[in-house]
A and B are shown apart, each in its own frame.
Chain A
Amino acid sequence: MESEELFQYIASLEAAARPSEKPSDLPTIEVPPEHFLSLMQQLREDPRLYFNMLQVHTAVDWVKKGIFELLYQLYSTKDRQSLRVLVELPRENPVIASVCSIWRIAEWQEREVYDFFGVLYEGHPDLRRLFLEDDWKGFPMRKDYEDDFMLEPGQ
């Protein structure tokens, strides 16, 4: 599918999803967090789209704008089509629905994002830190993370 066609088709499924204007090298849509889970479900299940791989899930901390930008990159082995879904969350109290029940790999990817950014996933069966110890203070990939341990060159 061409990206225009794809966007139109997705908009017919879920009205809240709109093509993103952010500079990006793949077809990208944006969706508000309220409609996120139902959209993802349809993207997976819809016979015309059938995105059966969740290839990338990560987050970006836009500290000046006060948001976390979550990225979900989907791929369909049927059509060899990629789609990027962006969701914006406020930096205070970032909570979003978990997609573990749709793609099983999400369980780890979400734990990684929690570990690095502190984004909370509702409905995650086992949300805990992935790489760091359970009692680690703070979320290291946030831009305002501070740690006495980190060293600057020349220090």
Chain B
Amino acid sequence: MNVHVSTLDEKTRSSLAIESHSETEEYFINMGPQHPSTHGVLRLILKLDGETVREVIPVLGYIHRSIEKISEYSTYRQIVHLTDRMDYLSAIMNNWAVARTVEKAAEIETNERIESIRTIVSELERIHSHQLGWGVLGMDMGAFTPFLYGFRDREMITDILEETIGARLTMNYIQPGGVMFDIHPDFVRKVKEYLAYFKPKLDEYEDLLSGNPILQQRLRNVGIMDAETALSMGATGPVLRASRVPYDLRKIEPYGMYGEVEFRVAIGTAGDCWDRYYVRIEEMRQSMRIIEQLIDNIPEGKFLLKKPAAKLTIPEGRHYSQIETARGVLGFYIVSEGKETPYRAYFRTPNFHNLWSLTAMAPGGRVGDLVAIISSLDLVIPDIDR
């Protein structure tokens, strides 16, 4: 059998050679890896016909740090800290994915206090991640104010988390068998204050940006993806939900305290950029609702049931579990040989799968639309490259 392996050069050349019916000449333009609106080091090669995008060829690997290879040499506790650096805006949730897989595989118990704390800090982090996404989307669409607003409010959450966790970004908080530190005595009060502060602010966000006709023009009916394509493209998270698929792991296979709280899964109708934008706004509301239900009755108990110094092994076999981060499903797959380090560790990351749907959405639109689509996907590049 003979399988041909091509190169980027070949790909672009053959792509140009395809017969097209346009009367103008098609050409390539390179976007990235150093480009302000690709949110990092994403590189896209665009095949354009005038201003219409014909094809998008994403080129990855500009921040490929070989996390999976390093994981093979690391103990499970060390892997937790590597996950912080993948999707750094959902660092706590990434930690949780590892903790959940390890707990399920090694049958480590947790208690209600741990689960409550985990849920609350995760939802706080989901809010701040969406705030940043909202601000950056505003900036990409030509409005600078949302960026300032989003960062201002995000900074306050960072402060609350810092008091408890001691870090601002790379948290390394949720561990197999508990959380690293107990919550700060002021934590409950401050979270409540913050919720009271942020609720009217979220309405203000909407006044500021959602009702803006320019934004609506740029987002509505741009980058439409139907449910069937989204599923086949492997999209998850707000991107999939905007296409009318109510797939949210917090509801489908509840973990943490999600089974016990009330919240709705926000879904869109058309699957365009606007829906993806609005699903995130609605998710912030629901996250606040979840926190409100939990914050007043965090049960008493220990916060760490397994000593960090204790040896941690996983029985032989294949283990997988997944959680819902701010951007979609993060799965962690371990093949264990019963040692302290995994034989193989694989991360199924949300952004990797979400980015691929760009190649289905962008063709046919304008270059300006492409920027809107990238923004609405809310990408974190190191999560793609790992």
**Direct chain A–B contact by Cβ atoms under 8 Å:** yes
A140 with B69, Cβ < 8 A, contacts A56-B348, A120-B3 known: yes
Cβ of A141 < 8 Å from any Cβ of B?
A: yes
Residue-wise, chain A 56-99 has the 8 Å CB interface mask toward B (1 for contact) of 10101100000000010100010010001000000001010000
Query: Chain A residues with Cβ under 8 A from B1's Cβ?
Result: 93, 95, 120, 122
The reply to whether A104 and B360 contact each other, CB–CB distance below 8 Å, is yes
The reply to whether B64 and A95 contact each other, CB–CB distance below 8 Å, is no
Complex Cα gap A80–B344 (Å) = 27
A128 with B245, Cβ < 8 A, contacts A61-B344, A108-B352 known: no
A25 with B319, Cβ < 8 A, contacts A60-B344, A104-B232 known: yes
Cβ of A41 < 8 Å from any Cβ of B?
A: no
Q: Which of B3, B64, B335 contacts A132 (CB 8 A)?
A: B64
Cβ of A134 < 8 Å from any Cβ of B?
A: yes
Cβ of A36 < 8 Å from any Cβ of B?
A: no
Cβ of A42 < 8 Å from any Cβ of B?
A: no
The reply to whether A126 and B346 contact each other, CB–CB distance below 8 Å, is no
Query: Chain A residues with Cβ under 8 A from B68's Cβ?
Result: 116, 141
Q: B interface, by DSSP: helix, strand, loop or mixed? A: mixed
Query: Chain B residues with Cβ under 8 A from A126's Cβ?
Result: 6, 11
Instruction: Among B315, B316, B335, B360, find the residue whose CB has the most chain A CB atoms closer than 10 A.
Output: B335
Query: Chain A residues with Cβ under 8 A from B352's Cβ?
Result: 108
The reply to whether A25 and B320 contact each other, CB–CB distance below 8 Å, is yes
Complex Cα gap A38–B106 (Å) = 36
A30: min CB distance to chain B, Å: 12
The reply to whether A128 and B8 contact each other, CB–CB distance below 8 Å, is yes
Number of interface residues of A (CB under 8 A): 44
The reply to whether A73 and B320 contact each other, CB–CB distance below 8 Å, is yes
Complex Cα gap A109–B344 (Å) = 16
The reply to whether B60 and A105 contact each other, CB–CB distance below 8 Å, is no
Cβ of B353 < 8 Å from any Cβ of A?
A: yes
A105 with B234, Cβ < 8 A, contacts A24-B318, A77-B245, A122-B1 known: yes
Cβ of B104 < 8 Å from any Cβ of A?
A: yes
The reply to whether A131 and B234 contact each other, CB–CB distance below 8 Å, is no
The reply to whether B3 and A103 contact each other, CB–CB distance below 8 Å, is no
Cβ of A127 < 8 Å from any Cβ of B?
A: yes
A128 with B5, Cβ < 8 A, contacts A22-B318, A23-B318, A26-B320 known: yes
Instruction: Among A52, A55, A61, find the residue whose CB has the most chain B CB atoms closer than 10 A.
Output: A55
A121 with B3, Cβ < 8 A, contacts A52-B231, A105-B233 known: yes
The reply to whether A60 and B69 contact each other, CB–CB distance below 8 Å, is no
A19: min CB distance to chain B, Å: 14
* B353 and chain A: residue at smallest CB distance: A105
Cβ of A130 < 8 Å from any Cβ of B?
A: yes
Given A53-B231, A73-B333, A95-B1, 15 more contacts at CB 8 Å? A22-B318, A24-B317, A25-B318, A26-B318, A55-B329, A56-B348, A58-B333, A60-B343, A104-B356, A105-B233, A108-B356, A126-B11, A127-B5, A128-B10, A131-B385
Interface of A with B (CB < 8 Å)?
22-26, 28, 52-56, 58, 60-61, 71, 73, 77, 80, 84, 93, 95, 103-105, 107-109, 114, 116, 120-122, 124, 126-134, 140-141
Interface of B with A (CB < 8 Å)?
1, 3-11, 60-61, 64, 66, 68-69, 104-105, 228-229, 231-234, 245, 247, 252, 315-320, 322, 329, 331, 333, 335, 343-344, 346, 348, 352-353, 356, 360, 385
28 A-B interface contacts by CB (under 8 A): A22-B318, A23-B315, A24-B317, A25-B317, A25-B318, A28-B318, A52-B228, A52-B231, A55-B322, A55-B329, A56-B333, A58-B333, A60-B343, A71-B333, A73-B333, A77-B231, A80-B252, A84-B318, A95-B1, A105-B232, A105-B233, A120-B1, A126-B6, A128-B5, A131-B61, A134-B7, A140-B66, A141-B68
